[in-house]
Each structure stands twice: as structure tokens, then as C-alpha cells.
């Protein structure tokens, strides 16, 4: 056992250089991480600010597109309203076809769907047939009121007449 300490062995120069280079590289890497993290946070904040600014400011193209969309939306709304309130006059003619006496024909029809009115001018073979036609129409729930006017004897003894009908508004619905 030796009591006298031996002087420490000196490391070769290349090991000292490698050791200090490794320490410097470690310090550069750690400081680089924090520097890049700082720049990344600043960039994210800048991007968020720009996105907020873009969201607030509308371009001219966006404004024109928005106006066009609102224009089409209004047109669609108007068209929907028209379709919803559209009166189907053809329903009245289907009803009239089913309600017409075989010996009566109508020569003129004046229809006012918005007022639920119809004015029918026609001719019946005779007055009893006209009476039957009126009875048929009065029995229909679609007829609210019936008014016979302008009764006259036409050519060949036929009964000419005009009927004013007040109709149930639902007859013009789908």
C-alpha cells in the first residue's frame, strides 16, 4: 500500500477537446431548444392575430358573395310564399266536372280563387233539369252559398242561367 499519492494522470489533449466540445454542444442544444420554443410561441401568436384580423375584415369578394346569397335567399323566400299561397284553380274544375248534371253545360266560367267565388253561365235542357243541377250543387259541402240569376228561356226552349257560387277556400288548396 502506498501512502504517498501519485500525481493524477493527465488526459490526452484530444479527450479534453472532446469533453469541452460535448459540453458546449449540450449547452447550445439546450439554449437552442428554448430559443426555438420562444420563436414558435411568437409565431403562433402572430398567426392568431392575423387570423382574427382576417376574420374581422371582409374582402370585397366576400361582401359581393354575401349580397348575392342574401338576394337568392330573398327570392327563395318569396317563391316559397307564392307556392304556399298558390290557389289551384284546377281543383275547382275537377269538382265542377263531378258535380255537373249530364243535361247541363256551362258556356262561361269566371273564377276568383282569392275571393273563393265562381260565376257560371250555362244552359240546361229545361227548368226541371236546372232545378236538379241547383240541388246537386247545394248538397255539396264545397259550396257555401249559391245564387241563381239571369234566368231566361233561350233558343229551342232551353233554360239559360247564371250561377254565383261562394266556395269553400279549401277547394283551391292542395
Grid coordinates belonging to 36: 426555438
Spatial neighbors of 65 by CB under 8 A, at least 6 apart, are: none
**Predicted local confidence at residue 57, as pLDDT:** 75
φ, ψ of residue 59 in degrees (nearest 5): -80, 165
At 55 the three-state DSSP class reads helix
The full set of domain ranges for the chain reads 12-55, 89-172
Q: What mean pLDDT is reported for the chain? A: 89
Report if pTM > 0.75. no
Span 115-124, pLDDT tens digits: 889 999 999 9
Domain 89-172: CATH superfamily is: General secretion pathway protein M, EpsM (3.30.1360.100)
Say how many C-beta atoms besides its own lie within 10 A of residue 130's C-beta: 23
Bridge partners of 120?
109, 163
Span 124-155, pLDDT tens digits: 999 999 999 999 999 999 999 999 988 999 88
Distances (CA, A) of 96 to 99, 108, 145, 161, 162: 5, 13, 15, 16, 15
Amino acid at each position: 500500500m502506498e501512502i504517498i499519492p501519485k500525481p493524477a494522470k493527465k488526459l490526452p489533449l484530444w479527450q479534453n477537446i472532446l469533453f469541452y466540445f460535448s459540453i458546449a454542444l449540450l449547452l447550445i442544444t439546450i439554449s437552442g431548444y428554448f430559443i426555438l420554443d420562444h420563436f414558435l410561441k411568437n409565431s403562433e401568436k402572430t398567426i392568431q392575430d392575423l387570423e382574427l384580423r382576417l376574420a374581422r375584415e371582409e374582402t370585397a369578394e366576400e361582401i359581393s358573395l354575401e349580397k348575392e346569397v342574401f338576394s337568392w335567399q330573398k327570392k327563395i323566400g318569396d317563391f316559397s310564399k307564392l307556392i304556399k299561397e298558390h290557389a289551384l284553380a284546377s281543383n275547382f274544375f275537377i269538382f265542377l266536372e263531378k258535380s255537373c248534371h249530364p243535361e247541363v253545360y256551362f258556356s262561361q266560367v269566371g273564377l276568383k280563387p282569392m275571393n273563393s267565388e265562381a260565376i257560371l253561365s250555362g244552359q240546361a235542357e229545361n227548368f226541371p233539369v236546372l232545378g236538379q243541377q241547383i240541388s246537386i250543387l247545394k248538397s255539396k259541402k264545397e259550396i257555401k252559398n249559391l245564387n241563381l240569376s239571369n234566368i231566361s228561356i233561350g233558343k229551342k226552349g232551353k233554360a239559360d242561367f247564371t250561377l254565383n257560387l261562394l266556395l269553400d277556400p279549401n277547394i283551391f288548396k292542395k
